Chain A
């Protein structure tokens, strides 16, 4: 297996991409971001729905963590941050959180010169930054500098049989090499507290796992009422899953079988190495954003029904759980775990995925990257007001 390389960042992390990120502080200026995107397609432009209209402490914490986290992300080499001027997450409030990013961050507000001039200025700045960071070179890195995210969405009955065990085998391999793996989706951990708790590094981590899963279970009951039992649905049962524990095991198996060293909050960066759990939601977009902002440089994403979703600054490797969806969505799928049914061994599939991952780390684009299938949404707790 060949070595891996990355872009060294001043804070000690390494990026496996060197993107210029164009980020609005608030949805009001999304049009400006879209104009820049048409003008400078090489820049990663991330329009989003947030920045104002929510005032609760938890929503504010998440908002600032997500926006500053995108700026700090190791795969980002430079940033154009475009504010409006009067929003909650304005550039002044954000600048305190990003001043030590160690990378060029150009900041301006649309209320200073209007949308068209802002778009022009933003496009020129993005082009200039792209030239600036082109001189940066990759250096060899070791696997312990890597945080790999594991995600599943649009699952089917084979997800827990083929794709997630394949992701789990890769997870165990990455941890064995000294790297770190993170996965979230607490809804899909319901019924597995006894399993995850036993695998916790210590009592403190076990306690956090129990609290997280208990809260996810209560939330499911609060929101869905009597229908909470549909977390394991008749469709799941038709697919051969007999209990909630079995269904959830099929999900969490994507994280492999190593010791759980830490539970982090949504979008929080881990301070430990090895296998990390994130206390985040099961909804794909929100989950991906939380894992990315936690500092994951790369993501595996298993799917059985099929989703094209990628993430703006992360290479996302799509793993199909069955050959039918792999064929139907072959423009979107990077790996066919359905081959396990056709005679390929799990070891061979794992090795194929490790080779692919190595190439992607070194710069090969995933299908979602090539197709520009970026999705950015993040968790909120209250409706806007």
Chain B
């Protein structure tokens, strides 16, 4: 089955949607075990690879790119509604 998410770096706790994803879809990708997508996730957006607590660092490209503002479940869409920047807060 063709991968629908991409893990960019082995340390990452989010993966990237390779196409628009719908709730209930099985996530598949190299190095990422199967789990259910929880929300509508647009292509090139992020999906949580494990449950994240509020205030946890989001790791993408193997580096911290943001901090969560609320708990996020595995398979959930990760974007500006549930994280914040460590700089240039708007």
Contacts and interface: CB of A to CB of B under 8 A. Distances in A.
Are A and B co-members of a single complex?
yes
B30 to A, nearest CB: 6
A27 interface: no
A343 B44 contact: no
A161 B6 contact: yes
Contacts of A99: none
A229 B87 CA distance: 11
Interface residues of A, number: 31
A345 B18 CA distance: 13
A161 B16 contact: yes
Interface of B: prevailing SS: loop
A269 interface: no
Interface string A342-358: 11011000000000000
A205 interface: no
Contacts of A246: 60-61, 65-66
A249 interface: yes
Contacts of A161: 6, 8, 16, 18, 44
B16 A257 contact: no
A243 B85 contact: yes
B66 A245 contact: yes
Contacts of A346: 30
Interface string B36-72: 0000001111100000000000101111111000000
B85 A245 contact: yes
A342 B85 contact: no
A228 to B, nearest CB: 9
Nearest to A158: B44
Contact of B87 (A157, A160, A245): A245
Interface string B3-14: 100101000000
Contacts of B2: 342-343
Contacts of A253: 8, 61
Contact of B61 (A194, A229, A250, A340): A250
Given A165-B8, A232-B88, A240 B30 contact: no
Contacts of B79: 237, 240, 242
A14 B64 CA distance: 39
A250 B45 CA distance: 13
B86 A245 contact: yes
Nearest to B66: A243
B33 interface: no
B83 interface: yes
A255 to B, nearest CB: 11
A359 interface: no
B78 interface: yes
Given A242-B80, A341-B19, A345-B30, A249 B85 contact: no
Nearest to B83: A242
A162 B6 CA distance: 9
Interface string A298-324: 000000000000000000000000000
Given A229-B88, A229-B90, A340-B6, 14 more contacts: A161-B8, A165-B8, A237-B80, A240-B16, A240-B43, A240-B45, A240-B79, A243-B65, A243-B66, A243-B87, A243-B88, A245-B86, A246-B61, A341-B19
